[in-house]
Amino acid sequence: GSCQGNSVERKIYIPLNKTAPCVRLLNATHQIGCQSSISGDTGVIHVVEKEDDLNWVLTDGPHPPYMVLLDGNLFNRKVMLQLKGTSRVSGLAVAVAKPNPPQGFSPGLKCPNDGFGVYSKDYGPQYAHCNQTVWNPVGSGLSYEDFDFPIFLLEDANETQVIKQCYQDHNVPRDGSGPEYPLCAMQLFSHMHAVTSTVTCMRRSSLQSTFSINPEIVCDPLLDYNVWGTLQPINSSGKVDPDKEVIMVASRIDSHSFFWNIAPGAESAVSSFVTHLAAAEALHKASDVHLLQRNIMFTFFQGETFDYIGSSRMVYDMEKDKFPLRLDNIHSFVELNQVALRNGTALWMHTDPVSRTNDSVEVQVRNLLDILSSSSMEGRVTLQEAGFSQPLPPSSFQRFLRARHIPGVVLTDHQTAFQNRYYQSMYDTPENIRIQYPEGLTPEEALEYVTDTAKSLADVATVVARALYRLAGGANNTSAIQADPKTVSRMLYGFMIKMNNSWFQSIIKPDLKGILGDVPQHYVAVSSPVNTTYLVQYVLANLTGTVVNLTKEECLNPEKIPNSEKEMYDYAWVQGSLDPNSTSRVPYCVRSTVRLSKALSPAFELRQWGSTEYSTWTESRWKEIRARIFLVASKELEIITLVVGIIILVFSLLATYFINAKADILFSIPRDPGAVAY
Beta strands 89-95 and 223-230 are: unpaired
- Which CATH number covers residue 96? 3.50.30
**How many other C-beta atoms can be found within 10 angstroms of the C-beta atom of residue 126?**
11
- pLDDT of residue 670 exceeding 70: no
Confidence label for 565 from pLDDT (cuts 50, 70 and 90): confident
What is the C-alpha to C-alpha distance for residues 592 and 666, in angstroms, rounded to an integer? 90
pLDDT at 298: 98
- Phi, psi angle pair for 677, to nearest 5°: -95, 135
- Would you state the torsion angle of the CA atoms of residues 295, 524, 321, 119, taken in this order, to the nearest 10 degrees? 90
Q: Which of 89, 73, 69, 93 is nearest to 81 (CA)?
A: 89
| 473 and 395 housed in the same domain | yes
Average pLDDT of the segment spanning 175-181: 80
- pLDDT of residue 237 exceeding 90: no
Domain hosting residue 262, numbered range: 223-545+593-600
pLDDT at 210: 84
Confidence label for 170 from pLDDT (cuts 50, 70 and 90): very high
DSSP characters over 224-290: EEEEEEESS---TTS---TT--EEEEEEE-----SSTT----IIIIIHHHHHHHHHHHHHHHSTTGG
Per-chain mean pLDDT for the chain: 93
What is the C-alpha to C-alpha distance for residues 252 and 308, in angstroms, rounded to an integer? 9
What is the C-alpha to C-alpha distance for residues 185 and 619, in angstroms, rounded to an integer? 29
| 20 and 155 housed in the same domain | yes
| 120 and 158 housed in the same domain | yes
pLDDT at 100: 92
Q: What is the DSSP letter of 429?
A: S
What is the C-alpha to C-alpha distance for residues 365 and 358, in angstroms, rounded to an integer? 10
What is the C-alpha to C-alpha distance for residues 41 and 89, in angstroms, rounded to an integer? 10
- pLDDT of residue 1 exceeding 60: no
| 579 and 540 housed in the same domain | no
Lowest mean pLDDT among 20-34, 271-285, 655-669: 655-669
Average pLDDT of the segment spanning 500-521: 90
Contact 259, 20 (CB under 8 A): yes
- pLDDT of residue 665 exceeding 90: no
**Domain total of the chain:** 3
Q: What is the DSSP letter of 428?
A: -
| 380 and 436 housed in the same domain | yes
Average pLDDT of the segment spanning 128-137: 94
In a domain, 606, yes or no: no
pLDDT at 334: 98
What is the C-alpha to C-alpha distance for residues 5 and 389, in angstroms, rounded to an integer? 72
What's the pLDDT tens digit per position in 343-373? 888 999 999 999 999 999 999 999 999 999 9
Residue 42 belongs to what H/E stretch? strand 41-48
For 256, how many CA atoms within 13 A lie in the half-sphere containing its CB? 25
Q: What is the DSSP letter of 177?
A: B
| 92 and 241 housed in the same domain | no
Confidence label for 3 from pLDDT (cuts 50, 70 and 90): low
Lowest mean pLDDT among 429-438, 513-522, 609-618: 513-522
Strands in 546-548's sheet, in edge-to-edge order, are 546-548, 588-592, 570-574
What is the C-alpha to C-alpha distance for residues 595 and 597, in angstroms, rounded to an integer? 7
Confidence label for 191 from pLDDT (cuts 50, 70 and 90): very high
In a domain, 310, yes or no: yes
Average pLDDT of the segment spanning 531-554: 95
Helix (H), strand (E), coil (C) string for 345-384: CEEEEECCCCHHHCHHHHHHHHHHHHHHHHCCECCCEEEE
| 551 and 537 housed in the same domain | no
Average pLDDT of the segment spanning 532-541: 96
| 531 and 565 housed in the same domain | no
Confidence label for 331 from pLDDT (cuts 50, 70 and 90): very high
| 171 and 228 housed in the same domain | no
- pLDDT of residue 315 exceeding 90: yes
- Which CATH number covers residue 237? 3.40.630
Average pLDDT of the segment spanning 159-172: 95
The whole-model pTM stands at: 0.93
Confidence label for 4 from pLDDT (cuts 50, 70 and 90): low
In a domain, 676, yes or no: no
What's the pLDDT tens digit per position in 451-474? 999 999 999 999 999 999 999 998
In a domain, 475, yes or no: yes
What is the C-alpha to C-alpha distance for residues 1 and 415, in angstroms, rounded to an integer? 71
Average pLDDT of the segment spanning 229-235: 94
pLDDT at 300: 98
- pLDDT of residue 95 exceeding 90: yes
pLDDT at 39: 95
| 273 and 298 housed in the same domain | yes
Confidence label for 578 from pLDDT (cuts 50, 70 and 90): confident
What is the C-alpha to C-alpha distance for residues 275 and 339, in angstroms, rounded to an integer? 8
What's the pLDDT tens digit per position in 396-421? 999 999 999 999 999 999 999 999 99
What's the pLDDT tens digit per position in 283-303? 999 888 888 999 999 999 999
In a domain, 668, yes or no: no
| 330 and 406 housed in the same domain | yes
What is the C-alpha to C-alpha distance for residues 297 and 244, in angstroms, rounded to an integer? 12
| 156 and 253 housed in the same domain | no
In a domain, 611, yes or no: no
What is the C-alpha to C-alpha distance for residues 632 and 65, in angstroms, rounded to an integer? 13
Mapped onto helix, strand or coil, the DSSP state of residue 137 is coil
In a domain, 308, yes or no: yes
Percentage, residues of the chain above pLDDT 70: 98
pLDDT at 478: 87
Contact 94, 49 (CB under 8 A): no
**How many other C-beta atoms can be found within 10 angstroms of the C-beta atom of residue 191?**
18
Confidence label for 211 from pLDDT (cuts 50, 70 and 90): confident
What's the pLDDT tens digit per position in 31-54? 999 999 999 999 999 999 999 999
Contact 290, 232 (CB under 8 A): yes
pLDDT at 676: 57
In a domain, 655, yes or no: no
